Amino acid sequence: MICFMIEVKDIKKLAELSRLQMTETEMADFAEEFDSILNYVAQVKNVVGELGERTAGELRNVMRGDDKPNVRGAKTEVLTQEFPTREGNYLKVKKIL
């Protein structure tokens, strides 16, 4: 486990830059929380790094080729006939606003 050891003086500087007012107790508590967050992020980065190295050669395209595309408009008439209200090829819907 990596330990970053964020100190209260670092939290104080961050609070000043962020224009936050914090008590000494809040800064000490935040330093502990911040340290645990950074440790967690380091663990996640290690896992992602390991997965990236391990699967780099295993990646492949899983999308199928578009062998038989539909003819444009071939099913338009069938679909528009199912709609309750239409004007030509336009489907009519209720006004929302």
Instruction: Tally the C-alpha atoms within 13 A of residue 26's C-alpha that lie toward its C-beta.
Output: 7
**Where are the domains positioned within the chain?**
8-57
For the chain, what percent of residues have pLDDT higher than 70? 80
How many CA atoms are closer than 13 Å to the CA of 90, on its beta-carbon side? 4
Q: What is the CATH number of domain 8-57?
A: 1.10.20
Per-residue pLDDT, averaged over 55-77, amounts to 74
- What pTM was computed for the model? 0.41
Nearest to 24 by CA among 36, 37, 15: 15
Count CB neighbours of 97 within 10 A. 2
Q: Which residues of 72-90 are buried (b: 16+ CB within 10 A; e: fewer)?
A: eeeeeeeeeeeeeeeeeee
pLDDT surpasses 60 at 82: yes
Is the pLDDT assigned to residue 66 strictly greater than 70? yes
Per the model's pLDDT, the better-predicted residue between 73 and 15 turns out to be 15
Reported as a pLDDT band with limits 50, 70 and 90, residue 16 is very high
